[in-house]
Amino acid sequence: MPAPVRVRFAPSPTGYLHVGGARTALFNWLFARHHGGQFVLRIEDTDKQRNTAEAVQVIYDGLRWLGLDWDEGPLVGGDFGPYFQSEREAIYERYFQRLQEGGWLYEDAGAWRFRFVREVVEVDDLICGKIPFDFSHLEIMPDMTIRRPDGSWIFHFVNVVDDIEMRMTHVIRGEDHLPNTPKHIQLYRALGAEPPRYGHMPLILNKDGSKMSKRDQGASITSYLEGGYAPEAVRNYFCLLGWSPKDDREIMPLDEIIARFDLAAINRKGAHFDLAKCDWFNAQYIQQMPMERYRELVQPWLARAGIAAAAEQLDPVLALEKMKVTHFSEVPDRISFFFTEEYDYDPAAVEKTMCKSGALERLAQIAECYSTVEPFDAATLEARLKELATTLAVKPAEFIHPTRVAVSGRSVGPSLYHMLEVLGKERALARLRRTCERFAA
């Protein structure tokens, strides 16, 4: 019976979580969940000059925000720890001694090198297929350094040791690691261990085909946390960076993605990242999102803007703009005028609408008309405004535009009639009359 699937995400905490790293974590997580296996988080923190506790926290926060829980690793423990490389020194020494005793190592200018077997090593990759690597020529494939003169370890050695110790069955990573794989296979063989199955994913590229770097827009997962994105939308978009369900569907529930995820469906070509497409996903998810979830995700943005209201007061306001929102960061500005009577008037809107001849007269007329409206709901408000316009032989816009500016301070926004209904009769009439007085002075 095959061993249960065990995969890992092994980032270096050097400042931020890149979209490429997040995609690697996501695909490993999906593979583990699809097969009912284990997803392990391991922190490769041997670079003491660059690694920080803050950077480790960024990794935790980014994975949690994307909804990627780990079965073993920091904070949750497990049977194969420690899960920080900096705490595994004794394990590396033990494996180093095994290689020394086996005659696989030699010293070169204070560094220790692993002596390759001069043969062809075939990598049977689950995504890329079978690829031969010829180690025959020393000048092309020089022996590999595994330990520096200062005693610190090289990535290749500790990576393989950890995968052996943690019993990884599969290693799924970016194709930039593909040339490392035959070297790792040689280490496995020297240590008498069975290599895992490898799968190397295509790189993430910019729209122009260049490799995505940390300086490119959308490269850092933190930018999504801070930019008003829904984690489920970003996760869905990331799933399609190299993988396709083959039926042209894009928006899919997570359970279905897990059920359908297959390494064989990962494309060989580079995945082109498009932040505008990610924005589209975010808007689609927001539109389809239950109000409870929408309120939960927008709440931090409202709190920063000083907007506080109970759900029964907040939800009707949020619903007015929900279909137009792309990022949660937009919401406070869109709805702030509902929660204060000290809202500002947009100068351009005032110039275009309130300074127009007859505008204040129209405001006074609509205020008088609406003072007798019952019920004060959108349908009734719309019908009465149109009746008034017909009676006075003017276009409805003669009332709509100044009314909108009067009650919100701006010329654009949600449906006027629904906005008035949510404001309520008393507040709406007070705003109409106050605006008349202000601009008549």
Burial of 198: CB neighbours in 10 Å, binned 0-12, 13-18, 19+: buried
Task: Assign 411 to helix, strand or coil.
Answer: coil
214 is catalytic: yes
Query: What whole-number distance in Å separates Cα of residue 42 and Cα of residue 163?
Result: 10
Instruction: Tell me the pLDDT tens digit for each residue of 316-347.
Output: 999 999 999 999 999 999 999 999 999 999 99
Burial of 170: CB neighbours in 10 Å, binned 0-12, 13-18, 19+: buried
Give the chain's residues under pLDDT 70: 1-2, 49, 441
In this predicted structure, what is the pLDDT of residue 247? 83
Query: What whole-number distance in Å separates Cα of residue 229 and Cα of residue 287?
Result: 13
Catalytic residue from among 48, 207, 211, 214:
214
With beta carbons less than 8 A apart as the criterion, state whether 370 and 384 touch: yes
With beta carbons less than 8 A apart as the criterion, state whether 183 and 195 touch: no
CA 221 to chain centre: 6
**Residue found under tokens 């423990």:** 77
Query: What whole-number distance in Å separates Cα of residue 216 and Cα of residue 404?
Result: 40
As a 3-state breakdown, the chain gives helix, strand, coil percent values, each rounded to 5, of 50, 15, 35
In this predicted structure, what is the pLDDT of residue 200? 97
Judged by phi (left if over 0) then psi (alpha if -120 to 50, else beta), residue 361 lies in alpha
Instruction: Tell me the pLDDT tens digit for each residue of 193-239.
Output: 999 999 999 999 988 888 877 777 778 899 999 999 999 999 999 99
